[in-house]
Amino acid sequence: MNYKKFSLLFGFSVFLMATLASSFWGHVFLQVNNAMVMISLYLAVVPVLYYLTHWVFKRFQLSTEQRMKSAVFMVVPGMLCDVLCLKYHIIFFPTLTIEQAVVLCSWVLWVYVFTLLLGLVEHKTRKKDLEGAS
């Protein structure tokens, strides 16, 4: 399987697991009135995303351009599916209040942006390394 197909499937799998977790336990961890819990939720996902994206990058030994493409392929399935899931949050996330659904939207955007930045930042870092080696 090439890295593009793998990235799409991997991204969809992560989306599916996160959606199921949010559907069943979102009301527990989306404590909108507790700033420390919310900050922790945003920060805790950073190392997880870093590990997951870099695992894919290393598994396929991707070039700088391929890393950027892979990051895009990882987020596209979830972004497309989240359009419906978040629009119809009452169906997909029945235990969430409207405030929690809004916070979930914010957190989901944070995850997608950070994943895309990992592909971009890695691209710039590797480019600098290559220029420094010349």
Domain ranges (residues) in the chain: 3-127
Give pTM, 2 decimals: 0.86
Q: Is the pLDDT at 122 greater than 70, yes or no? A: no
pLDDT digits (tens, 9 = 90+) for 55-102: 999 999 999 899 999 999 999 999 999 999 999 999 999 999 999 999
Query: Concatenated DSSP letters for 67-126?
Result: HHHHHHHHHHHHHHHHHHHHHTHHHH-TT--HHHHHHHHHHHHHHHHHHHHHHHHHHHHH
Contact 23, 91 (CB under 8 A): no
Contact 77, 14 (CB under 8 A): no
